[in-house]
């Protein structure tokens, strides 16, 4: 047996070509996937405060500056707001409303939605823009 005849040298070089290909493919995948994600909100300017909203099982009520009401992204009249909220949240285990009011909306309109939530035993979270 010729044990010395074999060449068992370890080369200290590493080929990074395949690793860079994988990194670029992942980068392209996440760039494409991030453009497909849509936000489930109406574009309004929120008041600033410290805090954050993290409740995925909630229904968003938005009040724009022109006093139009939206449940999630669907425009709703002020007169049928309570009926719509009750029908949407009646089957939920922990009914929660995320109240998104623009900072120029009068307080009485915000309190109107909070009163609807109080009468129907809904939890209310006031959405703010973090500092």
Q: Could you tell me the CATH number of the domain that includes residue 110?
A: 3.30.420.270
pTM: 0.58
**What is the CB neighbour count within 10 angstroms for residue 63?**
24
Task: Determine, yes or no, domain membership for 86.
Answer: yes
pLDDT-based confidence at residue 26 (cuts at 50, 70, 90): very high
Task: Let me know if residue 104 belongs to a domain.
Answer: yes
- Residue 43 domain-assigned? no
pLDDT band at 78 (very low <50, low <70, confident <90, very high): confident
Q: Tell me how far the alpha carbon of residue 64 is from its chain's centroid.
A: 19
Please tell me the total count of domains within the chain: 1
Cα separation, 5 vs 37, in Å, equals: 61
Full domain range(s) for residue 68: 48-130
d(CA 54, CA 125) in angstroms, rounded, equals: 9
Mean pLDDT of 52-65: 74
Report in angstroms the alpha-carbon separations of 76 from 12, 50, 72, 88: 68, 29, 10, 13
- Residue-level length of the chain: 131
Q: What is the pLDDT of residues 92-121, one digit of tens each?
A: 888 888 888 888 889 899 999 999 999 988
Residue 59 near residue 96 (C-beta atoms within 8 A): yes
pLDDT (0 to 100) of residue 33: 85
d(CA 25, CA 18): 11
The H-assigned helical ranges of the chain are 17-36, 81-89, 107-119
């Amino acid at each position: 047996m010729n044990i010395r005849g074999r060449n068992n040298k370890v080369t200290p070089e590493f080929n990074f070509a395949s690793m860079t290909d994988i990194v670029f493919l992942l980068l392209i995948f996440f760039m494409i996937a991030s453009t497909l994600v849509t936000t489930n909100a109406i574009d309004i300017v929120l008041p600033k405060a410290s805090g954050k909203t993290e409740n995925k099982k909630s229904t968003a009520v938005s009040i724009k500056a022109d006093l139009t009401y939206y449940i999630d992204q669907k425009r709703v009249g002020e007169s049928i707001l309570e009926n719509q909220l009750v029908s949407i949240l009646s089957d939920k285990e922990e009914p929660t409303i995320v109240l998104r009011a623009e900072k120029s909306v009068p307080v009485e309109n915000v309190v109107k939605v909070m009163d609807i939530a109080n009468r129907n035993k809904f939890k209310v979270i006031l959405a703010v823009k973090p500092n």
